[in-house]
Amino acid sequence: MAFDIEMIKAVYSKYPERIEAARKAVGRPLTLTEKILYAHLDQGDATQAFDRGVSYVDFKPDRVAMQDATAQMALLQFMQAGRNQVAVPSTVHCDHLIQAEVGANADLSKAKDKNREVYDFLSSVSNKYGIGFWKPGAGIIHQVVLENYAFPGGMMIGTDSHTPNAGGLGMIAIGVGGADACDVMAGLAWELKFPKLIGVKLTGKLSGWTSAKDVILKVAGILTVKGGTGAVVEYFGEGANSLSATGKGTICNMGAEIGATTSIFGYDEKSAAYLKGTDRADIAEMADGIKEHLNGDAEVYAQPEKYFDQVIEINLSELEPHINGPFTPDLAWPLSEFAAAVKENGWPAKLEVGLIGSCTNSSYEDISRAASLAQQAVDKKLLAKSEYTITPGSEQVRFTVDRDGFLDIFDKMGGVVLANACGPCIGQWARHGADKQEKNSIITSFNRNFAKRADGNPNTHAFVASPEIVTALAIAGDLTFNPMKDTLTNENGEQVKLDEPAGLELPSKGFAVEDAGYQAPAEDGSKVEVIVDPKSERLQLLEPFAPWEGSDLAGLKLLIKAKGKCTTDHISMAGPWLRFRGHLDNISNNMLIGAVNAYNDETNKVKNQLNGEYAEVPAVQRQYKLHGVGSIVVGDENYGEGSSREHAAMEPRFLGVRAILVKSFARIHETNLKKQGMLALTFDNPADYELIQEDDSIDIVGLTNFKPGVSLTVILNHADGSKDEIKVNHTYNAGQIEWFKAGSALNLIKAGV
């Protein structure tokens, strides 16, 4: 569980020289993001690196973190890389496969039994290759990372889209696919297009019902789910310095919902306090020694419009609590306007369930503030009208809040404590009655609220708010309740009002834990055997993808033209499908089953051009693969937004889809497609999306001259004999084109290229 102090010393030792060199090279002051990225450059000069949104740059991250659902495929790939041990500190966290149903102990016990094969695989492969292993029940990856591994000025990649949580401690932490993690663990550089920069200036100070969560809910409303695409969001100002480190983590965590590459805060007294409170005083002391390099230059923050591509200013003293949703995390409502919105839109006002916790809001501060409201409910004789669940972020947090009496308070209010795991937030929720698909409302302190995500019910209206607001509304059982001004009727028939929540950033008696759930790897893993049963339904060793045949692609069948939002949840659903994350063939049976077919407005029903019949998407694609026919998927804007899951790229590749052609891509998904040897293409003219017809046979021309910056041509051969030729673009650089030619990035690693 050691936080690699020597590695951190090495990182800090290069900061002064590297940052001064960068400042001289570009001839101007630097943002914090630029400082950290330049300090982690693998090669190249600062002038090229700082070409925002244009140049791909190689970086050397300091560490890798993987959650259990994505770690399976990442480590199955790493096993093919020919390495004896990971090249950078790496960890696996068992948090995604634990299904919430009745309560922490029973759910955890059931998960250990149900997922034993996967846990044994992850434990043994971690043991063999020098990877730290966090057992099921230890906690959610991002909270555990914040408590143990995040450090100011560091750079980490993680196989989960909410990896940016570590930005709360001043770390550039970026969500990636497993293939990227495999590269870094193999000792290779990691490539990223140098991001644009969005500056968020925070003034004033939070008070009353408003919390750090409301900052990102407000920002999401401003930027929308794609407004941060290709950018890093850097927070600064006196307001930023007033926020707790875990509050900053909440903001950075949910930055994934605006499409941001990552989000970050500078190092300050709150950062130092959290490091000291989590037994990392030596890191705080080291960070103090280079503090000026762990913040943007003063000139940048004095005139941010000169140095950021976009600047947003939020006065925390004036900020209202927000509630976002339903069905999208960027539909932002100030609390004072929310009740009217519920009524005007006909959303179910009765609140069925309130859920707090998750990787976004499960800190000691979050739970203590929610507990202060739960205590009021008990003291003021208010019975909670809604179901209420609490998901601690880590065993350390759970143990500490239990010691301090908060779990008892929740119990008296009628709350149910779930396992230290993702649970309902990622669809691991055996919600009773969800199969009836009744129209209902829930509110959570999670980060995502896409349709069907939490419970599989498309009619569940999911809203996102702070733990405090979630708790207050759960007590009321009514979405139209405004705790800032409304009263409730208690058991005695009296009108009572909830007081403002109160809590502590850090426990006054310090954190405590009996068993954090960490397993250190074997010192010598050469004798550790990793066994995968060839008959397993959960795990499957990988076979290399075939290299490009060296010619243009002709006669591709249109598999589906996806209409509207098509997230990675639509492409490769989570929930019950998580059990197949280590078995590419089995999980491919969920490929694109959530995408809406533009020709019939139905999901999982597409035309098989071989026989003219309609069938499920995976079944049709398997028929194409059986007959040696390639295919293409067409999509809309921001295709592949959401989770980092690379299965959304590997499944089409495995089943024989050759290209994905869309109006625009979400960053992580586009990279994942490239890594797997797929063609990720965008319409030069987005209106050409309308030219695609259901019976089209499609050619992709220009691949024999595939070069960076050179467009390709797509020929649409329509069933009536007519044709359309359209121009399509790509963002492949020379190295990525080699991935395509080799069949995948992993094929190049194995070849030693």
Residues in the chain: 753
Rounded to 5°, the CA angle 163-93-526 comes to 120
Q: Collapsing DSSP states into helix, strand and coil, what is residue 441?
A: strand
pLDDT at 443 over 60: yes
Phi, psi angle pair for 523, to nearest 5°? -65, -35
* Close Cβ partners of 184 (under 8 Å, ≥ 6 residues apart): 61, 64, 87, 88, 157, 190
Task: Tell me the pLDDT tens digit for each residue of 177-198.
Answer: 888 999 999 998 998 889 999 9
- Annotation marks residue 394 as catalytic: no
Residues 39/14, Cβ–Cβ less than 8 Å: yes
- Annotation marks residue 95 as catalytic: yes
Candidates 124, 386, 466, 643; catalytic one: 643
Please confirm whether the linkage preceding 392 is cis (ω < 30° from 0): no
Distance separating alpha carbons of residues 550 and 380, to the nearest angstrom? 74
Distance separating alpha carbons of residues 73 and 542, to the nearest angstrom? 9
Domain residue spans in the chain? 5-40+55-315, 322-496, 553-751
pLDDT of residue 2: 52
Burial (0-12, 13-18, 19+ Cβ within 10 Å), 1: middle
Query: Per residue in 561-587, is it b (16+ CB within 10 Å) or e — as a string?
Result: bbbebbbbbbbbbbbebbbbbbbbebb
pLDDT at 591 over 50: yes
How many H helices and E strands in the chain? 27, 30
Strand spans (E) along 71-195: 90-93, 132-134, 155-158, 172-175, 190-193
pLDDT of residue 252: 98
- Annotation marks residue 55 as catalytic: no
Q: Structure tokens of 447?
A: 């980060």
Distance separating alpha carbons of residues 139 and 517, to the nearest angstrom? 8
User: Which residues, listed in sequence order, are joined to residue 65 by a DSSP beta bridge?
Assistant: 91, 158
Task: Tell me the pLDDT tens digit for each residue of 675-701.
Answer: 999 999 999 999 999 999 999 999 999
CA distances from 227 to 260, 320, 665 (A): 8, 22, 13
Mean pLDDT taken over the chain: 95
pLDDT at 336 over 90: yes
- Architecture of the structural domain at 322-496: 2-Layer Sandwich (3.30)
Candidates 95, 180, 268, 636; catalytic one: 95
Please confirm whether the linkage preceding 326 is cis (ω < 30° from 0): yes
pLDDT of residue 3: 61
User: Which residues, listed in sequence order, are joined to residue 557 by a DSSP beta bridge?
Assistant: 631, 697
Q: What single-letter DSSP state applies at residue 476?
A: H
Give the per-residue SS3 of 5-26.
HHHHHHHHHCHHHHHHHHHHHH
pLDDT at 43 over 80: no
Give the per-residue SS3 of 560-598.
EEECCCCCHHHHECCHHHHHHCECHHHHHHHECCCCEEC
* Close Cβ partners of 574 (under 8 Å, ≥ 6 residues apart): 69, 96, 426, 427, 428, 453, 643, 645
pLDDT at 44 over 70: no
pLDDT of residue 448: 93
Nearest by Cα to 392 from 111, 65, 98: 98
Q: Which residue has the tokens 């209902």?
A: 440
pLDDT of residue 418: 97
Q: What is the pTM of this model?
A: 0.88
pLDDT of residue 361: 97
Distance separating alpha carbons of residues 567 and 330, to the nearest angstrom? 15
pLDDT of residue 1: 46
Q: Are strands 697-701 and 553-561 parallel, antiparallel or unpaired?
A: antiparallel
pLDDT of residue 288: 98
Rg over CA atoms, the chain: 25
Q: Does domain 5-40+55-315 have CATH number 3.30.499.10?
A: yes
Q: Which residue has the tokens 């280079």?
A: 290
Phi, psi angle pair for 591, to nearest 5°? -60, 115
pLDDT of residue 578: 83
> Could you count the other beta carbons within 10 Å of the beta carbon of residue 171?
29
Candidates 96, 398, 461, 667; catalytic one: 96
pLDDT at 45 over 90: no
Q: Are strands 63-67 and 155-158 parallel, antiparallel or unpaired?
A: parallel
Fold equal for 5-40+55-315 and 553-751:
no
Q: What is the mean pLDDT of residues 114-129?
A: 96
Candidates 62, 160, 366, 404; catalytic one: 160
- Annotation marks residue 160 as catalytic: yes
- Annotation marks residue 455 as catalytic: no
Candidates 369, 448, 581, 667; catalytic one: 448
Q: Collapsing DSSP states into helix, strand and coil, what is residue 57?
A: strand
Task: Tell me the pLDDT tens digit for each residue of 448-495.
Answer: 999 999 999 999 999 999 999 999 999 999 999 999 999 999 999 999
User: Which residues, listed in sequence order, are joined to residue 334 by a DSSP beta bridge?
Assistant: 322
Q: What single-letter DSSP state applies at residue 320?
A: P
741 against 46, higher pLDDT: 741
Stretch among 75-84, 256-265, 504-513 having the lowest mean pLDDT = 75-84
Residues 444/462, Cβ–Cβ less than 8 Å: yes
> Could you count the other beta carbons within 10 Å of the beta carbon of residue 172?
29
Please state which CATH class domain 553-751 belongs to: alpha beta
pLDDT of residue 413: 93
Task: Tell me the pLDDT tens digit for each residue of 625-639.
Answer: 999 999 999 999 999
Q: Structure tokens of 138?
A: 């230890």
User: Which residues, listed in sequence order, are joined to residue 591 by a DSSP beta bridge?
Assistant: 572
Candidates 453, 583, 645, 653; catalytic one: 645
Q: Please, what's the largest Cα pairwise distance for the chain?
A: 79
> Could you count the other beta carbons within 10 Å of the beta carbon of residue 605?
17
Distance separating alpha carbons of residues 166 and 221, to the nearest angstrom? 22
Q: What is the mean pLDDT of residues 120-133?
A: 97
- Annotation marks residue 448 as catalytic: yes
Helix (H) or strand (E) run with residue 231 in it: strand 231-236
Q: Which amino acid is at 435?
A: D
Q: Which residue has the tokens 């060199």?
A: 21
* Close Cβ partners of 314 (under 8 Å, ≥ 6 residues apart): 200, 201, 202, 203, 215, 218, 219, 239
Residue 579 — pLDDT band, cuts 50, 70, 90? Answer: confident
CA distances from 576 to 96, 139, 429, 546 (A): 11, 20, 9, 30
**Virtual torsion, Cα 432, 434, 436, 442, nearest 10 deg:** 110
